[in-house]
Amino acid sequence: MAKVVVLSGAGISAESGLSTFRESDGLWAQYSVDDICTAGCLISNREQTIEFYDKRRTELSDKEPNHAHKVLAHLKNRYKDDLAIITQNVDNLFEKAGIEPDNLVHLHGELTKVECESCNHIYDIGYNKLSEVNGGKCVACGSDQVRPYIVMFGEMAPQYETLDKEIQDCSLLVVIGTSGMVVGVNTMAHFIEHSILNNLAPSEAINDSYFDKVFYDKVTNVIDEIAYEIEDRLIEGR
């Protein structure tokens, strides 16, 4: 179990040029969240849902990790099991920064992967449209019931169990770039001995009085100071 847990949201990838869920412009503005991100959308609105995630995959193809991804990747690779990087994001910028896929927890799925609803096979299609890989059919069983490997609102998110386990042995929680509306961080921060919050601005869903240190700034401006706090805690715990 990790002594330090970093929980990141869309804010950490925004500086790499990825549009965030609550932005009023960009890719998200072209679609209704209820139509393409909610349980059942692959039944009631399958074509548009597939189209949306195809576009998000294309958007991701040329994006590069920023300084925050790289700093956290360096720490993860140095401290291994003592540091858990858990992200709500479905992009692969942490992987591009150097974290091995098995050493990263994606709470809500991964954009470059798809899952067969017939045989449950999960495989990577890179930045391609779903239809461009094996004609959109499962590479394992040939079924045409293949979906983005994304957890929709209202669906089960198995990796939340991993988050819960890591929190149990955590002495420092670092929350970066999340509104707190999907994953409630107040209870975690209240429960854990030490905690740090970094967002661009206050969120109505987060009580920042529960955090020892609060940085309202771009993550790339404060990540070095946050990294110092992380490393200090990890060295002290050894």
Pick 18 or 76 by higher pLDDT. Answer: 76
74: closest CA among 6, 126, 27, 151? 6
Residue 119 assigned to a binding site: yes
Structural tokens at position 234: 């990890």
What percent of the chain lies above the pLDDT cut of 90? 89
pLDDT tens digit sequence for 123-177: 999 999 999 999 999 999 999 999 999 999 999 999 999 999 999 989 999 999 9
Residues with catalytic annotation? 108
| Mean pLDDT, range 210-214, rounded to an integer | 97
pLDDT for residue 21: 67
| Mean pLDDT, range 210-238, rounded to an integer | 94
Domain boundaries, the chain: 1-18+63-108+156-238, 19-62+112-150
Beta-carbon count within 10 A of 128 CB: 15
pLDDT for residue 55: 93
What is the helix (H) or strand (E) element at residue 194, kind and residue range? strand 194-199
Residue 170 assigned to a binding site: no
| Mean pLDDT, range 92-120, rounded to an integer | 98
Say yes or no to pLDDT of 2 above 80: no
Quote the mean pLDDT of the chain.
94
Determine whether domain 1-18+63-108+156-238 maps to CATH 3.40.50.1220.
yes
Write the CATH number of the domain with boundaries 19-62+112-150.
3.30.1600.10
CA–CA separation, 188 and 180 (whole Å) = 11
pLDDT tens digit sequence for 27-80: 667 788 889 999 999 999 999 999 999 999 999 999 999 999 999 999 999 999
pLDDT for residue 30: 78
| Mean pLDDT, range 215-236, rounded to an integer | 96
CA–CA separation, 162 and 223 (whole Å) = 24
pLDDT for residue 94: 98
Say yes or no to pLDDT of 102 above 90: yes
Pick 35 or 119 by higher pLDDT. Answer: 119
Residue 37 assigned to a binding site: no
pLDDT for residue 26: 57
68: closest CA among 228, 223, 227, 225? 223
What is the helix (H) or strand (E) element at residue 111, kind and residue range? strand 109-116
52: closest CA among 62, 42, 39, 65? 42
Spatial neighbors of 28 by CB under 8 A, at least 6 apart, are 19, 20, 21, 22
Confidence of residue 23 (pLDDT cuts 50, 70, 90): low
pLDDT for residue 137: 98
pLDDT for residue 238: 62
